[in-house]
């Protein structure tokens, strides 16, 4: 099931710090994949363990989804805009999601969703086409990303089938049922 054929969604995680962020950055990528994004970029310090962890998830649970380290996130945002994509920065200081989501959804442009790590520099607010808040209270970038993607896709991501999955969960009222899928 394709959740949207009009545009692609990628995520840009700013300022990864392996000693502090390895679980958070991995969770940003896992949420991005599970909630319908097509891939992700990250900046800060390169962390091959995070990249390998996500690659193993994609190998087992399906994809496509890839993670790419970028050295210069400002250049990536400018490049994204130059090729016609739009930039959506998730921040508690932005416009409420309910006020802007329909315009974002109706745009035919590919979407780069920017989530912070450490303090986000002011230039991100200037480069973004949209500064969007999920809530105007302190919260996690993982939570904000999941809520944003869920609202963007209107819940259709919950039924997404992942190509080339080797394993799949069979929903159960009680217990756990995982089946292996032959290639």
pTM over 0.95: no
pLDDT surpassing 50 at residue 41: yes
Tell me, what's the pLDDT at 1? Answer: 35
Task: Using pLDDT thresholds of 50, 70 and 90, give the confidence band for residue 163.
Answer: very high
Query: pLDDT tens across 63-117, in order?
Result: 999 999 999 999 999 999 999 999 999 999 999 999 999 999 999 999 999 999 7
Q: Is 82 helix (H, G, I), strand (E, B) or coil?
A: helix
Considering only CA atoms, which of 34, 36, 30 is closest in space to residue 10? 36
12 φ/ψ angles, rounded to the nearest 5 degrees: -120, 115
Retrieve residue 139's tokens: 């919260």
Domains of the chain with bracketed CATH: 9-180 (3.40.1280.10)
Average pLDDT estimate for 57-67 = 95
pLDDT surpassing 60 at residue 62: yes
Contact present, 87 and 77 (Cβ < 8 Å): yes
Average pLDDT estimate for 20-39 = 94
Task: Using pLDDT thresholds of 50, 70 and 90, give the confidence band for residue 18.
Answer: confident
Q: Who contacts 85 (Cβ-Cβ below 8 Å, separation ≥6)?
A: 109, 110, 111, 112
Q: How far apart are CA 21 and CA 118, in angstroms?
A: 10
Residue burial 119-151, b: 16+ Cβ < 10 Å; e: rest: ebeeebeebbbbbbbbeeeeeebbebbbbbbbb
8-12, 77-81, 158-162: range with lowest mean pLDDT:
158-162
Tell me, what's the pLDDT at 54? Answer: 97
Average pLDDT estimate for 16-41 = 93
Q: How far apart are CA 175 and CA 39, in angstroms?
A: 31
User: Tokens 């912070």 sit at which residue?
Assistant: 116
Q: What average pLDDT is seen over the chain?
A: 93
Peptide bond preceding 64 in cis form (omega within 30 of 0) = yes
């Amino acid at each position: 099931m394709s959740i949207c054929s009009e545009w692609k969604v990628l995520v840009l995680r700013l300022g990864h710090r392996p000693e502090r962020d390895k679980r958070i950055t991995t969770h940003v990528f896992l949420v991005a994949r599970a909630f319908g994004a097509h891939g992700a970029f990250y900046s800060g310090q390169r962390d091959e363990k995070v990249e390998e962890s996500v690659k193993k998830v994609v190998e087992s649970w399906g994809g496509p989804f890839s993670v790419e380290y970028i050295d210069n996130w400002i250049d990536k945002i400018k490049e994204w805009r130059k090729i016609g994509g739009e930039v959506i920065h998730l921040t508690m200081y932005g416009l409420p999601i309910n006020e802007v989501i329909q315009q974002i959804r109706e745009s035919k442009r590919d979407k780069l969703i920017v989530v912070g790590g450490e303090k986000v520099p002011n230039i991100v607010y200037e480069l973004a086409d949209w500064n969007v808040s999920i809530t105007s209270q302190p919260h996690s970038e993982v939570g904000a990303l999941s809520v944003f993607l869920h609202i963007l896709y209107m819940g259709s991501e919950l039924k997404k089938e992942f190509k080339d999955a080797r394993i799949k969960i069979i929903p159960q009222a009680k217990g756990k049922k995982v089946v292996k899928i032959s290639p």
